[in-house]
Amino acid sequence: MNTRTMRVWAARIALAVLVVGGWQLFTALGWVDKFFYAQPSGIWNRLWDYFEHGTEFGSYPQQIATTMQEALYGFLLGTAVGIVMGVALGLNRFLAQVLDPFIKVVNAIPRIVLGAIFVVAFGVGITPKVLLAAVLVFFIVFFNAFQGVREVDRNVLNNAKVLGASRWHVIRHVTLPSAMTWIIASLHSAFGFAIVGAVVGEVLGAQHGLGLLIKSAQGNFDPDGVFANMFVIAALVLIVEFVIERVERRLLAWRPKTQSESVLV
């Protein structure tokens, strides 16, 4: 770990201590009403209680596993469909023009409405949460994949064709690697949206999950419970983000570092 990295981590820890410490101090002094905004010590106690005694809907690890399962399934489904459609429409201008208004109409539908429709259609099981998460992920990945294909360097494409590369070889060795940078970039925010879709679906109707716990805590005027589950969700997203960063480094190892990336090293 170099000096710059140590300084970054020290600044992060200092900022976290400042925010949490200030939050605890202001609520203890009564400057901020902990009835509405909770208190770090109360949040910690609520988390401890969740892990030690469970919840009214079952063990706490079970609630976390349920939400993660829904988010991961939605993430994988939305990513797969988004990449396929993004690349297909990016390569076929006619098809892109035909489907353009329909894609925009579907994208304009409020996600909370889609979630309600999915719950009515498929019940309170895992399916509506996975579908809602997949929809949120799909549009992020789709637009990035589509734009990535359109932004391929035309000179490289022309050179490949001049050298006798077939259409399939051009797509495999030029178009997809170039678009992969855009696709991987979209995944950094996509999983966060997958979690949002899963949690919103659980709030609308579920038997297990962190969203259900948040809804229950809200109904019981328990801000500690609401914030406790929010922090767990944030931790899950950070863990997956760490994994995505490692995958990105492997898949894009061929790409030379940009000037901005070189400065950050």
* Domain harbouring 184, CATH code: 1.10.3720.10
Q: Kindly state the percentage of the chain with pLDDT values over 90.
A: 42
Say which range, 5-14, 19-28, 32-41, 255-264, has the weakest mean pLDDT: 255-264
Range 73-101 average pLDDT: 91
Q: Judge contact between 216 and 225, C-beta under 8 A.
A: yes
Residue 160 has pLDDT above 80, yes or no: no
Distance CA(191)–CA(168), nearest Å, equals: 30
Range 216-243 average pLDDT: 91
Q: Model confidence at 134, in pLDDT bands (50, 70, 90)?
A: very high
Q: Is residue 26 part of a domain?
A: no
* Tokens 């797509």, residue located: 171
Say which range, 21-30, 151-160, 179-188, 212-221, has the weakest mean pLDDT: 151-160
Burial of residue 121 (CB within 10 Å: 0-12, 13-18, 19+) is: exposed
Q: Model confidence at 206, in pLDDT bands (50, 70, 90)?
A: confident
Residue scoring higher pLDDT (171 or 59): 59
* Domain span at 207: 51-264
* Tokens 């489904």, residue located: 77
Burial of residue 178 (CB within 10 Å: 0-12, 13-18, 19+) is: middle
How far, rounded to the nearest angstrom, does the alpha carbon of residue 45 sit from its chain's CA centroid? 28
Q: Residue 222: helix, strand or coil by DSSP?
A: coil
Q: Is residue 35 part of a domain?
A: no
What crossing angle do the helices spanning 126-150 and 176-204 adopt, rounded to 10°?
A: 150
Q: How many contiguous H segments (helices) and E segments (strands) does the chain have?
A: 13, 0
Q: Model confidence at 263, in pLDDT bands (50, 70, 90)?
A: very low
Q: Is residue 212 part of a domain?
A: yes
Q: Model confidence at 253, in pLDDT bands (50, 70, 90)?
A: low
Q: Is residue 32 part of a domain?
A: no
pLDDT of residue 255: 61
Q: Is residue 196 part of a domain?
A: yes
How far, rounded to the nearest angstrom, does the alpha carbon of residue 256 sit from its chain's CA centroid? 26
**Count of domains observed in the chain:** 1
Range 68-81 average pLDDT: 94
Give the CB-side neighbour count of residue 7, counting CA atoms within 13 A: 5
Q: Is residue 106 part of a domain?
A: yes
Q: Residue 180: helix, strand or coil by DSSP?
A: helix
Q: Is residue 13 part of a domain?
A: no
Q: 3-state DSSP: the chain helix, strand, coil percent, rounded to 5? A: 85, 0, 15
Q: Is residue 41 part of a domain?
A: no
Q: What's the predicted TM-score (pTM) here?
A: 0.85
Range 228-243 average pLDDT: 91
Q: Model confidence at 165, in pLDDT bands (50, 70, 90)?
A: low
